Every structure is written in structure tokens, then in C-alpha cells.
Homo-oligomer: A and B are copies of this chain.
């Protein structure tokens, strides 16, 4: 009995048999040239653009940060002393700084890198890629998003600069969330070069869509449920649709598209950090004061409710009444998405609880029923982003539309700027229309952008991985000795055992 060389074989289990089959792990032919070249080129461009136009933002001056009074206000003390505010007022009352943003920024940063990164480690043989590509893509997006957002939103024509401060790096993290959601849809099916190109394009489209939604429609979406979650999910699904490959259904690929016990626990690290810090995501850039408090409280209640409904539905949907880790890892978070658009509005605590409950049930149902249907239509969704981000994000958008009917609760006039279309003269029905337009525009740009991006990623130059690379770290990572062994023993619970009996 000769020893097979594991480098050239792949263990394949079908429902009836298990055998070792030779697999050609061809080295990627062109990527070795492309990947570092593209990334070096983009990094060089980023350096040039930052050098030309980026500058530091400024911290608010001590008094003005905490005394948001109009310039030239006078404070009269009981003894009749008066002080005039003004000398300290450089940036106006809305200017906020480290004290307002930094702690929430760090929470969001952990969501992006630990939360998304570990959530995707559930695949038994794709953990290095999940957390590693998440790391690469997110770091790339932060750099690119600071630049794109700087030019689109913050460019000062006088000084020819855009500023970078804590609020801006929070926003760059939000952009990263959108791209990582799309990554979830194509997880295990694309190579790193494709990921970088996808991220490069998506940052441009996501920012453009958000600019239209926030600065022209003046739609509210404080937790970015439309601009990040809906956009990211349907952009990613469109890319996945375009990259669909029959071989995803091969027994080898399906075998690798499963979890093992420890990979599910690693994934739970991601889930729980996302759960804990979601209030910071939804309140991160909310207006100071009661708006921000509502964003925290509504998210806290809504996401706790989606946890409960996920356990309820996971149990109901399962024929043995067992909980399913896929649901627990994902649908539990849907309450954070669904409340996002209206998180800072007056939906009352019971409203937040209803929204979260509905989202938990909807998302669990999505994982149980909708995922398979989408796959039949060639929209393979590795992480189920349609269920966690897509449908709950649509729900958020719809809730936002409905809430516009109640101007005392939507407080929509708080968002109106002179640059908004129909800014100062907008009725609440007008706001409703703009909310709907924001949702519609988001879906349209995401789907069309995703299809075009998918076409680009299918170019033979880029799309050179083999089926053996699906959900397989070994194609692009040095893997330790136990990488094969674990996969093998995981598949053979009985065979290894039976000579003991």
C-alpha cells in the first residue's frame, strides 16, 4: 500500500463513497505578476493624491467643543459678571472631535477587522483567506475611501485640500463595511487580485451613491442600512451571479463549503463583537445629544430582539428542533441592520423591539429558505449576505419610507441642507419620495455596478483560479502540516475509529 502524495490528491466524500482523487493544483498563472503590480501601482497613486490634496483636520477648541453657543453669546454669572463667547469659536457648534468620535470609532474599527474577519472564518479550509483577505481588503479600502470621500464630500476649493479627522476615518470604515459585505457574497470564489479590483470599483460607486442619497436626496440613513448594507449585499450578489460556475456544486467544493467545530467557534467571535458594537455603528456619526442617545438605545433593543427571534425561528425551522449555527452566527445581527435607517429617530423603544423581532425572523427565514432559491438562480451567496444585510437592509429602507409619514418622529427637517434638492421647502411627502428614491437608486447602482464589475472580474486575465481553489486556503496561502489532516479526519468520523472496536 503506497502512500499517496497529498500534494496531488484531494479527498472527496460523496454521500456513498470516499476516495482520494488526483487534483492539479496549478499555480496561478498570471496573478503573481498582477497582484503585487496592481497593488504597488495603486499605493503609489494614493501617496501622490494624499500628497497633493490631503491635510489633517482640526480638533475643536476646548470651549467651543463644549459650549455650542453662537459666537458673541454672553454668559452672565450670578454675580452679574458676563463673558462673551467668541475668541475660542473657530469651527462652530457642530464641529466635534476626538472626545465625541474616538471611542465609537474604535468600536467600529473592531467590527470591521475582527467582526467581519472572524465571522467569515466558518469555512473549514478557508480561515486564513477569510480573516486574511478581510484584513487586506479593509486596509486597502480605508486608504482609498479616505481619498474618494475626501474629493467627493469634503474638497475645499480654496485651500485645494480635503481634511482627515476622526469623523472621516469612521466614514472610511463604513465604506469598508460595504465592500466586506460584498466580499461575503463571493467568499471563497475569487482570488485576491479580483478582490482588490472589486474593492477599487465598489468604493467609487458606493461613495457616489451615498453622495446622491445624502447630499442631494437628503435621505436619512444614520446607520447606513441602505448605503452600506443594501448596497454591499446586492453589489456582491450581482458580482457572484456573474462569476457563477457549475463547479461550485462539485462534491469537493461542497465538502469544503462546510464548517468544523472550531471554525464555528472562531466565527462566533466575529458575531459577538459585531453584536456588541453595533450601537456604535448606528450612532457613530449621529448628531450629538438625544439623537445619539436614541441611536444607541434603539440599536441595543433592536439587536437584542433579533437574537431572541433568531433562536425562536432556528428552533422552529429545524426538523429536530435544534439550533443551527449558521442562523446564530448571522441572523442574530439583523436587528442592527433593520433599525439602522431610523436608529436616531423617535420610533420608541417598543418600536425598536418590533423592528428587531421582525428582522430576526426575516433573516433566519432567509437563511433557511431564500438562500437555496437564490442559488438556483445562479446567485451563490457564501455568507448569506442577502439574509443578513440585503433583506434586513431593505426592511430598514422601507421602515424609513414609512416613518417619513410621521414628521414628528422622523424629524426629517434636521437633515435638510441648502444643497439638498428642494431643501428648505420639502414636505414630508417629499421626504417620503426621496427616501424611496434613495433606496431605489441604491439598488440600481449596486446591481448594475455589480454586474459590470463581475464582467470585468471574469476576464481570463484575472479569473485564473481553478475549481480546486474554491474555499481552499492552499491555493494562495502557505498552510501548516495539519491543514490536510484536519480536513481528512473531519470527514471520516467512523473509519478512523472502527479498528478499535
Contacts and interface: CB of A to CB of B under 8 A. Distances in A.
Given A39-B311, A106-B276, A265-B127, A297 B56 contact: yes
Given A40-B312, A136-B307, A272-B131, A73 B66 contact: no
Given A98-B292, A272-B131, A498-B4, A323 B82 contact: no
A353 B490 contact: no
Interface residues of A, number: 167
Given A36-B312, A66-B63, A75 B78 contact: no
Interface stretch (A139-147, A201-209, A375-383): A139-147
Contacts of A32: 315, 321
A296 B146 CA distance: 14
B480 A264 contact: yes
A332 interface: yes
A424 interface: no
A356 to B, nearest CB: 10
Interface in A318-361: 318, 320-325, 328, 332, 346, 348-350, 353-354, 357
Number of copies: 3
Interface pairs A-B: 7 shortest CB-CB: A51-B350, A482-B490, A32-B321, A139-B307, A66-B66, A50-B350, A103-B103
Given A308-B143, A321-B31, A496-B489, A127 B261 contact: yes
B131 A268 contact: yes
Interface string A300-319: 11001101110111011010
A499 B79 contact: no
Contacts of A139: 304-305, 307-308, 332
A13 B99 CA distance: 56
B59 A290 contact: yes
A292 to B, nearest CB: 6
A161 to B, nearest CB: 10
A86 interface: yes
A28 B260 contact: no
Interface in A233-289: 258-266, 268-269, 271-273, 275-277, 279-280, 288-289
A124 to B, nearest CB: 8
The winner among A18, A146, A324, A475 for most chain B CB atoms within 10 A is: A146
A140 to B, nearest CB: 6
Contacts of A135: 271-272, 275, 307, 328, 332
Interface in A67-120: 67-79, 81-84, 86-88, 97-100, 102-104, 106-107, 109-110, 113-114, 117-118
Interface stretch (A164-172, A384-392, A411-419, A426-434): A164-172
A158 interface: no
A127 to B, nearest CB: 5
A140 B308 contact: yes
A20 to B, nearest CB: 6
A405 interface: no
Given A127-B261, A142-B304, A106 B280 contact: yes
B485 A490 contact: yes
A297 B488 contact: no
Nearest to A326: B478
